[in-house]
Amino acid sequence: MSWRRLWAIVLKELRQLSRDRVTLAMIVGIPVIQLVLFGYAINTNLRGLDAGIVDQANTAGSRALVMDMLATGVISPVARADTPEQLIAMLRRGEVSIGVAVPPDFERRRIDGRQVAQIMVDGSDNVVQSAAVQLAQVPIDSATPDRRAPLVSTPAGGPISIVSFYNPQRRSAINIVPGLIGVIPTMTMVLFTGIAIVRERERGNMELLIATPLSSAELMIGKVLPYIAIGLVQTSVILALGRWLFTVPINGSLLEVYLAAGLLILANLTLGLLISTRAQSQFQAMQMTFFVFLPSILLSGFMFPFAGMPKVAQWLAEILPLTHFLRLIRGIMLRGASLWELWVDVLALAAFTLVMMTAAILRFRKRLD
């Protein structure tokens, strides 16, 4: 690996980019357009949300209430906790997206007509939030085995209260903007490197390059590096616009937001490189990019909640970088989680990058046949 040759490639890419007005416009234009378009929410119903349950009352009535909630099919219990605090921690780590807490004085509250239970919801996901509203409609009367004991009064807003963590006002932009930090690079980064190699092949530059001492790794890494910077510029545009137009908060560390974004950018750039070593023409590279882009949008949890998808779709989604990134960015930006707490997805993105880069370097031959 020669740093001089690597730098020569980086410099060449940057110079070419600076003369390519369409691509330059794309770097800033796509984030702005998408942000404005997706600012409008997309809402759906769903079932099978991962839920954590705390039943501190543990009476016949409280157990019946929990069973009724499970019977709606909206939630499926994956964890039991002893205290509401444990539930909150699970929410932050992203282990559950909904928490049901029944306080010790459940029976007392029911008779007093106060709110008898609480649903805690990860408000960083819009769809989960609307599911919680649906869940809170479970009639408290039918949950009571003793039908003759009437409620003294019904508290305003229903007997079950909903607490939305991380997005108390239930604004959809709060979910959409962090998602876009992932969606936009998924589209543009793959495209940038997707055409990078094949373009030089089409223009005839490649025959010249492979006849020089330039190595595959120098060429591949040299092509990725400039676009990491471009990707981070895009991230900044989305963050700034999100802040300015939709007042989206960054609850976690800004550095970690950029680190996570960097991981996703790398994953997509290397995927693009691999596409580029396979594609026969720029047009074909573009088609292949869309082949990856559509599942990313649909399966990653950006548009539709991950929990609501069939198992096969979930397995597929686990392969996509965007799925892991969404977990990271929602965790960091909205729930204030740290990268360390979300290490599984960090590892997944890093592994994806490594596999793609290796495959691209191995697939690229300094031969014409």
Partner 1 sequence: MSVNGNGNGIAIRAHGLTKRFGSLVAVDHVDLEVPSRHVYGFLGPNGSGKSTTIRMLCGLLTPSDGEIDVLGLSIPKQAEALRSRIGYMTQKFSLFEDLSVRENLEFMAAVQGVPKARAPKRVDELIEQYHFGDRQKQLAGTMSGGQKQRLALACAVIHDPELLFLDEPTSAVDPESRRDFWEKLFELADAGTTLLVSTHLMDEAERCHRLAVLNRGVLVADGTPIELTGALEGHTFVVESADPRRAQRVLVALPDVLGVAQVGNALRVLIHGEGDALSHLKEALAGSGQEADVHPAPPNLEDVFVAVTREKREPQERAA
| Residues in contact with partner 1 by the rule CB under 8 A | 2, 4-5, 7-9, 11-12, 15-16, 19-20, 203-214, 366-369
Burial 114-144 (b: 16+ CB within 10 A, else e): ebbbbbbbbbbbbbbbbbbeebbebebeebb
- Whichever of 209 and 313 has its CB closer to partner 1, that residue is 209
- Whichever of 6 and 128 has its CB closer to partner 1, that residue is 6
- Whichever of 142 and 205 has its CB closer to partner 1, that residue is 205
- Whichever of 16 and 247 has its CB closer to partner 1, that residue is 16
Q: How far is the CB of 369 from partner 1 (least distance, A)?
A: 5
Q: How far is the CB of 247 from partner 1 (least distance, A)?
A: 41
- Strands 75-80 and 98-102 come out as unpaired
| Residue whose C-alpha is closest to residue 341's, from 333, 349, 351, 331 | 331
Q: Which residues contact 205 (CB under 8 A, 6 or more apart)?
A: none
3-class DSSP state for residue 317?
helix
State the burial class of residue 71 (Cβ atoms within 10 Å of its Cβ: 0-12, 13-18, 19+): exposed
Q: How far is the CB of 13 from partner 1 (least distance, A)?
A: 10
Cβ count within 10 A of residue 49: 25
Q: How far is the CB of 366 from partner 1 (least distance, A)?
A: 8
- Whichever of 162 and 214 has its CB closer to partner 1, that residue is 214
- Whichever of 219 and 260 has its CB closer to partner 1, that residue is 219
Find where tokens 């219990």 sit.
Answer: 77
Tokens of 132: 């919680």
- Whichever of 78 and 209 has its CB closer to partner 1, that residue is 209
Question: Taking CA 98 as the corner, what is the angle to CA 96 and CA 103, rounded to the nearest 5 degrees?
Answer: 115
Q: How far is the CB of 17 from partner 1 (least distance, A)?
A: 9
Q: How far is the CB of 28 from partner 1 (least distance, A)?
A: 20
Q: For the chain, give the longest Cα–Cα distance.
A: 90
Tokens of 134: 């649906």
Phi, psi angle pair for 158, to nearest 5°: 90, 160
The string of DSSP letters for 39-79 reads TS--------EEEEEEESS--HHHHHHHHHHHHTSSEEEEE
Question: Taking CA 203 as the corner, what is the angle to CA 200 and CA 206, rounded to the nearest 5 degrees?
Answer: 45
Q: How far is the CB of 304 from partner 1 (least distance, A)?
A: 42
- Whichever of 85 and 207 has its CB closer to partner 1, that residue is 207
C-alpha to C-alpha distance for 263 and 257, rounded to whole angstroms: 10
- Whichever of 41 and 209 has its CB closer to partner 1, that residue is 209
